[in-house]
Amino acid sequence: MRQVLVNTSYYWFGTSHNETCQGSSSMSCDNPEPIRLSLASRLFGLSDVHNKTELTALTRQVKLAFVTFNSPAGSIFACGHNFKIPEVANFIVDPLKTMSISSWSLQKSPQVAWDSPNNQTLYTVVIWDAGHYYLHGLYINCYQSSLISGTTIFNYSAPSNPYYISNPVVVLVIPQTVRLNQSSVTQAVEAITGRHQGRFVLSEFRDQFSQELSQRPSHINIITLEADPFAVQYYRDKFVVDNCALLISRLTPLHQVAKLSNLSMSWGDNSTESTDFNNTYLTSLALNLAVTYNTGDFRVEYCCTNYSITSGMFTANPFDESPVRSAVVRLRPRVTLSPMNMKDANRYRSRVYTLFMVDVAPAVEAGQSNARYFTHWLVTNIRNGDVSSGDELSEYFGPNPIIPNVPRTYMFLLFPQPVKRLNNSVIDHFCPNGRWICQIQLTPVLQAWNLTELVGVTWFRAVNDGFAKMRTYTVLKMMSMEEVCANVTGYPGSCHRSRPTNQTSTINYNNSASANINNNACTIHTALQMMTAALVMVLLLAL
């Protein structure tokens, strides 16, 4: 831990700050003291260059403070999904590891203990965000190695981090030479935070009480935080930043697609490829994709059986692995693009984008490398964040899994274009037999258009249903009606007409029409039969 304290490149505010943040306006890169590169320099207000020896000496004798959290089990609603939070019992903070528990479990004040050779010594305990300089707790006149024995100056507020950049919150135990006056310390804290727009500069506090506090802390621990659902939703509700996409990018399906399709991406662990599905974040993400389907009451006949769904709304939710029925997502969805960082709204609205919707089941469900994915929707030259403004190179065709009870994953991928208008004819090289539901390998297509930066992603899973069965033998014509319906209960006894066993239906729906079917041709055919029979009966009666 002592090496971490003086390491000038260990945290985001160190020597890698410019590379990590690259001029970002994100709060995660808001650095109050850029000249302080290490934790030690921020704790003591000394230079990493000119006072390196002194900083090393100050941290040499520091011991570990024992910080423990306890929290009951619970659940939170974040990013459109309910997350269950397990119980936390005597969780001991490891200063060298990122926290593995939810920041929701940090809401109750931790237990802080330390080795004290003299029970008469009083201590000040500070819980402080060393990255952004916010105070999370301050206690004075603590004794007998106990936080609760002291006087509270600043009530504990749980730290959280909605960003993929790890941020340290330090717990400092500082020996006192005398008993501190509560009023004096309170006034000092208020003055410091008032001068710095709410930030607490620890070095100023130590300077003000240089006679009452030891020159160095006796014990330290480090709470290292990354984004988690609770923190992301907390800041989302405050309209500060919406980092739901970061959480999505940690999920296994995206890592599988990236790895097995050889997509070059920038991950939070500084790698350009996902090698072991380690759930790290995708750092290029900048936009949230909200994909919403609205469907009215719908009925169709398949395998001589009626199939219907009621009206409703469905939103793609990668956290929910339960599949949706194909009929629910048969119509073109509404896609809304919104910046993760509210300050970047104008920047991303001015860019032009390409949107893919592809069936990535070969990678996600089958684990195939360099697989060809069915393209269910492809839109280029999207302007002003409005998908309807783009060029629809491949019309929307909703999910149509063929095998019953085997869901498939459908992924939306958004890329900014290097030019205002792509050459749309490029796709014809990859789709020589037509663009509609064309099978493509992602990497060659992206390279041909020079689409290198994934800025938005979402997905859902869909399952075979009556609607998908009907389209399999009427629209896609991949199987005969007899093959599709073989395991459908009641078939073929439920049919009211004969049908040749060796041919598929010849009903011809184009893509747009297939998305708006209200009745299957089987129903139409049956109605014609009934009308013909009625006319014959009328003629017979007339005779």
Give the DSSP letter string of 22-54: TT---GGG--S-TT--SHHHHHHT--TTTTHHH
**Range with the poorest average pLDDT among 280-289, 364-373, 505-514:** 505-514
Query: pTM, whole model, 2 decimals?
Result: 0.83
Tokens 């970061």 correspond to 246
- State the average pLDDT over residues 87-95: 95
Confidence of residue 20 (pLDDT cuts 50, 70, 90): low
Residue of 172, 166, 105 lying closest to 132 (CA atoms): 166
Q: For residue 337, give Cα distances in angstroms to 236, 242, 283, 286, 355.
A: 16, 12, 18, 10, 11
pLDDT tens digits, 203-255: 899 999 999 998 788 999 999 998 899 999 999 998 889 999 999 999 999 99
In DSSP terms, 241 is beta-bridged to: 341
Whether residue 521 is predicted with pLDDT greater than 70 in this model: the reply is: no
More confident residue, 245 or 278: 245
- Assess contact for 370 and 260: CB atoms under 8 A: yes
Between CA 131 and CA 146 the distance in angstroms is 26
Torsion of CA 92, 95, 101, 102, to 10 degrees: 120
Q: Exposed, middle or buried by CB within 10 Å (0-12, 13-18, 19+), for 206?
A: buried
Between CA 265 and CA 284 the distance in angstroms is 8
444 prior amide bond cis, ω within 30? no
Tell me the domains of the chain and their CATH numbers: 1-237 (3.90.280.10), 242-471 (3.90.280.10)
Averaged confidence pLDDT in the chain: 86
pLDDT tens digits, 389-431: 999 999 999 999 999 999 999 999 999 999 999 999 999 999 9
Q: Alpha helix locations (H) across 149-201?
A: 182-195
Confidence of residue 54 (pLDDT cuts 50, 70, 90): confident
What pLDDT, on the 0 to 100 scale, is given for residue 278? 53
| Cβ-based neighbours of 192, under 8 Å, separated by 6 or more | 200, 201, 204, 205, 208
